[in-house]
Structure 1
Amino acid sequence: MSRYRPPRKRGSPYITPEGEQALREELHQLWKVERPVVTQTVHEAAKNGDRSENGDYIYGKRRLREIDSRVRFLNKRLDELNVVDRAPQDTSKVYFGAWVTLEAEDGSEKTWRIVGPDEFDLALDKLSMDSPMARALLGKRCDDEVTVNSPSGEQLYHIVDIHYSP
């Protein structure tokens, strides 16, 4: 059986300035802080002789591969990203970077920020622009109704507010 996996579809190339800064900090942490420590651990473990039974060596080499893979990904991704650092001209519509307050059918309200796929975090109310919810919201105005297809069925939302400052 082959281990081949088809390449993942690339996400949208947009990111907020905060998201870009977070990716750059992660790259710095991996390359300048974590990798030298792991490299030194592997170097010391290699001195101990038999590498086939040396846990520090085996797991250190595995961690180095993980770090190098993530560093390659971050370098390529940062080169192709477009930082969106200003609001659109028409702020009455939902675009990238907008804070959107939605009212569900049961009357509950939730505010989401539309961000790039590299920085989404549902716990922080950041919604990827490639998600079904965000795709349904893009281009809509206040007081529009939005239908979102979800695994539990269609859900209807009402756009209560749109703004572009945090």
Structure 2
Amino acid sequence: MNKAFVKESDEDGDDDLAPENVRLPPGTKNYITTEGYNKLRAEFTRLMNEERPEVVQIVSWAASNGDRSENGDYLYGKKRLREIDRRMRFLTKRLEIAEVVDPSTQPNKDQVFFGATVVYSDKAGEEFRVTIVGVDEAEPLLGKISWISPVARALTKAREGDTVVLRTPAGMDELDILEISYPEPSREQK
């Protein structure tokens, strides 16, 4: 069918399912921790092996009931199936380009890099604890910030005792680095 007659764009819109619509900057790698990678794989597996077959079964049952135009189970099921398929395409793309980084193997543990947990204070003296993670695993309310976020970029390469400048829409802020830590290597790595 000609695209003039349907509501589709040339882009598949899979990036719309990124956390808070975060897209990777052009030319950058999709850094992710082992934990984050495993969570994305688990979500993909759950969608593929549990949710999708369940929804397909419901749609199939609803379709067998006859008139589909006013069949809520059928209409909702088809919509949910499209959402699941779109999320699975997104996860497939992200997992394919993922570059898994194990922060516990970081040689420069006295500096802030990907995977570091940093305790810092701002000008007002308020303390914050953040862990720098991949864009697909960032959860700012839980203290997990993306490595491309302004705070992470300001902190990167800093050492304990350093003061870094953070540019915000409200102006400049100074962050004092109080503590840097990395996860311990697992037993298999020792």
TM above 0.5, one fold? yes
2:24 is equivalent to residue 10 of structure 1? yes
What's 1:127 paired with?
145
Residue by residue, what CA displacement relative to the aligned partner does 1:99-125 show, whole Å, maximum 9, x if unpaired?
111011122211100000000001221
Residue among 44, 48, 52 paired with 2:61: 44
Provide the rounded CA distance (Å) in 2 between the counterparts of 1:41 and 1:153. Answer: 54
2:46 is equivalent to residue 29 of structure 1? yes
Q: How does 1:6-155 map to 2 (within 5 A)?
A: 9-10=23-24, 12-85=29-102, 86-155=104-173
Provide the rounded CA distance (Å) in 2 between the counterparts of 1:84 and 1:122. Answer: 20
Give the percent of matched residue pairs that are identical in Structure 1 and Structure 2. Answer: 45
User: What amino acid is the match of 1:69?
Assistant: R
- State the shift of 1:147 in Å: 1.6
Provide the rounded CA distance (Å) in 1 between the counterparts of 2:36 and 2:173. Answer: 29
User: What amino acid is the match of 2:113?
Assistant: Y
User: What amino acid is the match of 2:178?
Assistant: V
- C-alpha RMSD of matched pairs (Å): 1.9
Contact 1:120 1:128 in 2 (8 A): yes
Provide the rounded CA distance (Å) in 2 between the counterparts of 1:82 and 1:67. Answer: 24
Deviates more, 1:82-91 or 1:24-33: 82-91
Provide the rounded CA distance (Å) in 1 between the counterparts of 2:167 and 2:69. Answer: 51
The normalised TM-score by structure 2 is 0.80
The normalised TM-score by structure 1 is 0.91
SS in 1 for 2:105: coil
Provide the rounded CA distance (Å) in 2 between the counterparts of 1:71 and 1:3. Answer: 19
Contact 1:35 1:64 in 2 (8 A): yes
Contact 2:24 2:135 in 1 (8 A): no
Provide the rounded CA distance (Å) in 1 between the counterparts of 2:59 and 2:9. Answer: 29
- Unaligned 5+ segments in structure 1 are none
SS in 1 for 2:129: strand
Contact 1:99 1:163 in 2 (8 A): yes
Aligned residues: 165
Provide the rounded CA distance (Å) in 2 between the counterparts of 1:135 and 1:107. Answer: 20
Provide the rounded CA distance (Å) in 2 between the counterparts of 1:129 and 1:151. Answer: 19
Contact 1:102 1:159 in 2 (8 A): yes
